[in-house]
Amino acid sequence: MKILSIDPGNIESAYAVLDGSLRPVRFGKIKNEQLLEMIYNHEFDDCNLCAIEKIASYGMAVGASIFDTCIWIGRFQECILRILDIEAKMIFRKEEKLNLCGSMKAKDGNIRQALIDRFGAVGTLKNKGWFYGVSKDVWAAIAVGCTYYDVYIKGIERW
């Protein structure tokens, strides 16, 4: 089992490929066009599951960047279905917060720490840990994949 998980953005998106133990084996934050090209070029053919973070409205006004992100989500979803023959599961941010931290008040730092607490330290160049090389939005991509696994594969509901 390998999970392709994506934290989409309006210009760049973070992605992670998680192995059967949920260890990130490939990851990065790249331009959306590059990620789409990677999918088209069959660079994720080893993945048999996919999760993408979905945008939710909480009644606040949003700008053009949010709508652009929604368009990219749809493009990724369609490309993954056509090229990888995988139905991408949409994961809301609130699911990640509740699954990993048990609270809707969790912030990015809390999610990062919850992942480190669960799987182990980031590590150093000499002593590479579970998350060595992971930074910024890649943490969110990993959280998407872990939540997908926990809630929809294992059936664990933490809320």
Residue 69, in any domain of the structure: yes
Residue span of the structural domain in which 138 resides: 3-153
Q: What is the CATH number of the domain that holds 143?
A: 3.30.420.10
pLDDT of residue 158: 60
The H-or-E segment that residue 144 falls in is helix 138-147
Residue 15, in any domain of the structure: yes
Residue 27, in any domain of the structure: yes
Residue 128, in any domain of the structure: yes
Do residues 98 and 158 make contact, with C-beta atoms less than 8 angstroms apart?
Answer: yes
Q: Which residues contact residue 82 at a Cβ distance below 8 angstroms, ignoring those fewer than 6 apart?
A: none
In angstroms, the CA 93 to CA 143 distance is: 9
pLDDT of residue 159: 52
Residue with tokens 């590590």: 123
In angstroms, the CA 110 to CA 108 distance is: 5
Residue 159, in any domain of the structure: no
Residue 158, in any domain of the structure: no
pLDDT of residue 67: 81
- Give the type of residue at 33: E
pLDDT of residue 65: 80
pLDDT of residue 56: 82
**Domains held by the chain: number:** 1
Pairing of strands 12-18, 24-31: antiparallel
The DSSP code sequence of 3-21 is EEEEE--SSEEEEEEE-TT
**Along the 159 residues of the chain, how does pLDDT read in single tens digits?**
999 999 999 999 999 999 999 999 999 999 999 999 999 999 999 999 999 999 887 676 667 788 889 999 999 999 999 999 999 999 999 999 999 999 999 999 999 999 999 999 898 889 889 999 999 999 999 999 999 999 999 987 665
